[in-house]
Amino acid sequence: MNLVGGGRDVRNRVRAAQSAAFRAAEAQIEDWGLEQNEQGWRAEAFLYCVEVKPPDCDYYIPLAPSWLVDEYLRTVVIWRHDEGIDRLRPDVVEISAAELREFKNTKGATLVDGRVIDPFDPNRSWSVESLRGPDGLRLWETDEVVPRKDDLFQERLYCIRWMDTEGNRLYRSPNSCDFEREAKALRLLNERIANWRMKGFIPSAPIPLDGDKTSEPVRTRGWTCWSHLFNPRQLLTHGLVASQSLSNLHQDRVLAAAAMLNLGRLADWNSRLSCWLSSPTQIAGGKNTFLNQALNPLYNYSARPLSMMASAQIDFDSERPIRAASAVEIGDARDVNRECDLWITDPPYADAVQYHELGDFFLAWYGKHIRGAFSDWLPDARGQLAVRGEGEDFKKSMVEIYSNLARHMPDDGMQLVMFTHQNPAVWADLGMILWAAGLRVTAAWTVATETPVGGIKKGNYVQGTVLLVMRKRVEEKHGFLDEVYPEVEDEVKRQIDSMRALDDGAEPNFGDTDYQLAAYAAALRVLTGYQTLDGQDVSHELFRAKPTGRGAVAEKSRFERVIDRGIQIACDYLIPRGLEAAWPSLSADERLYLRALDVESRGERRQGVFQELARGFGVRELMPLLQGGRANQSRVRTPSEFGRRDLGGGGAFASTPLRHLLFAVHATVADEGKPEVGRNYLKELLPDYWGDRTRLTAILDWLASLAHGDDDRWTADAEGARLLAGRLRTDHG
Whether residue 2 is contained in a domain is answered as no
Per the DSSP assignment, residues forming a β-bridge with 112 are: 115
pLDDT of residue 350: 60
Q: 507: pLDDT confidence band, cut at 50, 70 and 90? A: low
Based on the fold, state whether residues 456 and 404 are members of the same structural domain: yes
> Phi then psi for 479, rounded to 5 degrees?
-115, 165
Based on the fold, state whether residues 343 and 304 are members of the same structural domain: no
Based on the fold, state whether residues 234 and 193 are members of the same structural domain: yes
Whether residue 600 is predicted with pLDDT greater than 50 in this model: the reply is yes
pLDDT of residue 161: 98
pLDDT of residue 540: 67
Whether residue 286 is contained in a domain is answered as yes
CA dist 695 and 430 (Å) reads: 42
Q: Are 146 and 227 in contact (CB under 8 A)?
A: no
Instruction: Give how far the C-alpha of residue 163 lies from the chain's centroid of Cα atoms, to the nearest Å.
Output: 31
> Phi then psi for 60, rounded to 5 degrees?
-75, 140
Based on the fold, state whether residues 470 and 390 are members of the same structural domain: yes
* Domain end position, chosen among 510, 540, 573: 573
Report the residue count for the chain. 733
Over the stretch 558-583, which tens digit does the pLDDT of each residue have? 777 888 888 888 888 888 889 999 99
Instruction: Please give the residue that has the higher pLDDT: either 275 or 646.
Output: 275
Q: State which of 59-73, 99-113, 315-329, 505-519 shows the largest mean pLDDT.
A: 59-73
Whether residue 349 is predicted with pLDDT greater than 80 in this model: the reply is no
In 520-561, where do the E strands start and end? 532-533, 536-537
pLDDT of residue 612: 78
CA dist 493 and 636 (Å) reads: 27
Based on the fold, state whether residues 613 and 514 are members of the same structural domain: no
Whether residue 458 is predicted with pLDDT greater than 50 in this model: the reply is no
Whether residue 374 is predicted with pLDDT greater than 70 in this model: the reply is yes
Whether residue 514 is predicted with pLDDT greater than 60 in this model: the reply is yes
Based on the fold, state whether residues 544 and 428 are members of the same structural domain: yes
Q: 351: pLDDT confidence band, cut at 50, 70 and 90? A: low
pLDDT of residue 638: 92
CA dist 387 and 404 (Å) reads: 15
Instruction: Please give the residue that has the higher pLDDT: either 709 or 124.
Output: 124
CA dist 385 and 382 (Å) reads: 6
User: Above pLDDT 90, what percent of the chain?
Assistant: 50
Q: 138: pLDDT confidence band, cut at 50, 70 and 90? A: very high
pLDDT of residue 630: 58
SS3 445: strand
Based on the fold, state whether residues 337 and 296 are members of the same structural domain: no
pLDDT of residue 454: 42
Q: 207: pLDDT confidence band, cut at 50, 70 and 90? A: very high
pLDDT of residue 601: 85
pLDDT of residue 347: 83
Compute the average pLDDT of residues 588-610. 86
CA dist 304 and 293 (Å) reads: 20
Q: Let me know if 24 is exposed, middle or buried by CB neighbors in 10 A (0-12, 13-18, 19+).
A: middle
Based on the fold, state whether residues 684 and 631 are members of the same structural domain: yes
Based on the fold, state whether residues 460 and 525 are members of the same structural domain: yes
Q: 195: pLDDT confidence band, cut at 50, 70 and 90? A: very high
Whether residue 30 is contained in a domain is answered as no
Based on the fold, state whether residues 600 and 543 are members of the same structural domain: no
pLDDT of residue 710: 62
Whether residue 661 is predicted with pLDDT greater than 70 in this model: the reply is yes
Concatenating the DSSP letter of every residue in 597-627 gives: HHHHTTT---HHHHHHHHHHHT-S--GGGEE
Over the stretch 245-275, which tens digit does the pLDDT of each residue have? 988 666 788 899 899 999 999 999 999 999 9
Compute the average pLDDT of residues 710-729. 89
* Domain end position, chosen among 516, 538, 573: 573
Based on the fold, state whether residues 434 and 534 are members of the same structural domain: yes
Reference 434, options 518, 540, 524; nearest CA is 524
* Domain end position, chosen among 534, 550, 573: 573
Concatenating the DSSP letter of every residue in 159-227 gives: EEEEE-TTS-EEEE---HHHHHHHHHHHHHHHHHHHHHHHHTSS--PBPPSS-TTTHHHHHHH---BGG
Write the single-letter amino acid at 91.
D
pLDDT of residue 382: 76
Q: State how many domains the chain has.
A: 3
Sheet-wide strand order for 414-419? 342-345, 414-419, 464-472, 439-448
Element (H, E) at 123: strand 121-127
Whether residue 335 is predicted with pLDDT greater than 70 in this model: the reply is yes
Compute the average pLDDT of residues 273-289. 92
Whether residue 284 is predicted with pLDDT greater than 70 in this model: the reply is yes
Instruction: Please give the residue that has the higher pLDDT: either 148 or 540.
Output: 148
Whether residue 578 is contained in a domain is answered as no
Q: 550: pLDDT confidence band, cut at 50, 70 and 90? A: low
Q: Which of 80-89, 334-343, 562-571 has the lowest mean pLDDT?
A: 562-571
Q: How many CA atoms lie within 13 A of 174 on its CB side?
A: 22
pLDDT of residue 106: 66
SS3 331: coil
Residue 63 lies in domain: 36-310
Whether residue 589 is predicted with pLDDT greater than 90 in this model: the reply is yes
Q: 512: pLDDT confidence band, cut at 50, 70 and 90? A: confident
CA dist 52 and 71 (Å) reads: 26
Whether residue 341 is predicted with pLDDT greater than 70 in this model: the reply is yes
Whether residue 97 is contained in a domain is answered as yes
- Neighbouring CB atoms inside 10 A of 122's CB total 13
Give the chain's mean pLDDT: 86
Compute the average pLDDT of residues 462-484. 82
Whether residue 452 is predicted with pLDDT greater than 50 in this model: the reply is no
pLDDT of residue 389: 64
Rounded alpha-carbon distances, angstroms, from residue 627 to 540, 590, 624: 44, 17, 8
Whether residue 462 is predicted with pLDDT greater than 70 in this model: the reply is no
Q: 38: pLDDT confidence band, cut at 50, 70 and 90? A: very high
CA dist 59 and 63 (Å) reads: 13
| Positive/negative CA dihedral, 304, 307, 311, 314 | positive
- Neighbouring CB atoms inside 10 A of 179's CB total 12
Based on the fold, state whether residues 291 and 349 are members of the same structural domain: no
Whether residue 459 is predicted with pLDDT greater than 50 in this model: the reply is no
Whether residue 315 is contained in a domain is answered as no
Whether residue 219 is contained in a domain is answered as yes
Q: 461: pLDDT confidence band, cut at 50, 70 and 90? A: very low
- Neighbouring CB atoms inside 10 A of 69's CB total 25
Over the stretch 16-28, which tens digit does the pLDDT of each residue have? 999 999 999 999 9
Whether residue 126 is contained in a domain is answered as yes
Compute the average pLDDT of residues 693-707. 92
